[in-house]
A and B are shown apart, each in its own frame.
Chain A
Amino acid sequence: QSVLTQPPSVSGAPGQRVTISCTGGSSNIGAGYDVHWYQQLPGTAPKLLIYGNINRPSGVPDRFSGSKSVTSASLAITGLQAEDEADYYCQSYDTSLSGSVFGTGTKVTVL
């Protein structure tokens, strides 16, 4: 039922920059609702990585950055590190569902 689409996987070598897209529509991102991003390391609970489209919680390295366009958002990881290997999810609010929606998830692999 996810209405936010992400690429299933992205990969990069250590030190490289990778980006993850999150494509929505007029009832969620396009309606102006904030996008949040979560990082889920293997076997652990998701952790808030970016909130309000571009903001990092305390303790999150500035290698992680978020951006938002009309009906989509992106997460960028610069200076990729082995510890960044995880699943990443975007999230927003959807008016047609009257609730929270998560993206389909993207697995980041460090080559």
Chain B
Amino acid sequence: QLQLQESGPGLVKPSETLSLTCTVSGGSLSSSNYYWGWIRQPPGKGLEWIGSIYYSGSTYYNPFLKSRVTISVDTSKNQFSLNLSSVTAADTAVYYCARAPRYSRTRFDPWGQGTLVTVSS
């Protein structure tokens, strides 16, 4: 059974870079059948897609975040990562990683449990 687990600092200072890693177990990140994505949810608010990556390294990002987002993949570790630069309090959110089929890149299943990142000095 595929499982995803987010990890990274729970507190980031304003203007710094938020860095998170998603570790995949029970399946291979190298599969050509899937995309891997990041989604976030500010406290008490709705879901926002951040971006997705294919095992080859091909990426596509939310245009509203594109200038600050980098998603990368490390198939040797079965991990993919999110970097979000120049963060502000508005980036405080629970960050989720998830898998989507290659033929339906918006269909996220399963999801990780999520990790709360707070932006504060």
Asked if B104 lies at the interface with its beta carbon under 8 angstroms from chain A, I say yes
Asked if A100 and B46 make an inter-chain contact with CB atoms under 8 angstroms apart, the answer reads no
Count how many chain A residues have C-beta atoms less than 8 Å from C-beta atoms of the other chain. 27
What is the size category of the interface that chain B forms with chain A? 20 to 34
**Cα separation A36 to B108 with both chains bound (whole Å):** 9
CB distance from A103 to the nearest CB of B (A): 7
Asked if A47 lies at the interface with its beta carbon under 8 angstroms from chain B, I say yes
6 contacts between A and B (CB under 8 A): A1-B64, A36-B106, A45-B112, A46-B108, A52-B104, A57-B109
Residues of B at the A interface (CB closer than 8 Å) are: 37, 39, 46-49, 51-52, 60-64, 96, 104-114
Residues of A at the B interface (CB closer than 8 Å) are: 1-2, 33-34, 36, 38, 44-48, 51-52, 57, 89, 91-93, 97-105
